[in-house]
Amino acid sequence: SQQGEEDPQALSIQEGENATMNCSYKTSINNLQWYRQNSGRGLVHLILIRSNEREKHSGRLRVTLDTSKKSSSLLITASRAADTASYFCATDHSGYSTLTFGKGTMLLVSP
């Protein structure tokens, strides 16, 4: 399976702390994407990083990609209660028609 694996499965932090989630995958990618899902809702695209990029920022989000280790991390700085959600990585692999999603990291940010 090409499925990415997020780590940890669940993360609980206090407001103001940073949250780091990791994603590993098995075969080479064209790009890697991160999505957020609030409870009971659809997924929302956060950020896309291409295989030739190493780091990307969007507001309080920082994504890194290490293609030699086949892994990516999502850092949310200065977390807020509103960041409570599940976060998924999705990989775009050469030769595959569609994205492959991991099972997600559930983030709980307590006030």
State the residues that interact with another protein by CB under 8 A.
3, 31, 33, 35, 40-45, 48, 88, 90, 92, 97-99, 101-104
Tokens of residue 81, six digits: 């209660």
CA-to-CA separations, 12 to 1, 54, 96, 106, in angstroms, rounded: 29, 27, 34, 8
CB of 15 to another protein, least distance (A): 27
CB of 78 to another protein, least distance (A): 26
CB of 72 to another protein, least distance (A): 16
d(CA 31, CA 9): 22
In 3D, which of 100, 107, 111, 109 has the Cα closest to residue 10?
Answer: 107
Instruction: Identify which of residues 52 and 98 has a Cβ nearer to another protein in the complex.
Output: 98
Name the pairing type of β-strands 29-37 and 85-93. antiparallel
Residue found under tokens 């999705």: 90
Instruction: Identify which of residues 24 and 77 has a Cβ nearer to another protein in the complex.
Output: 24
Instruction: Identify which of residues 18 and 28 has a Cβ nearer to another protein in the complex.
Output: 28
Instruction: Identify which of residues 5 and 67 has a Cβ nearer to another protein in the complex.
Output: 5
CB of 18 to another protein, least distance (A): 25
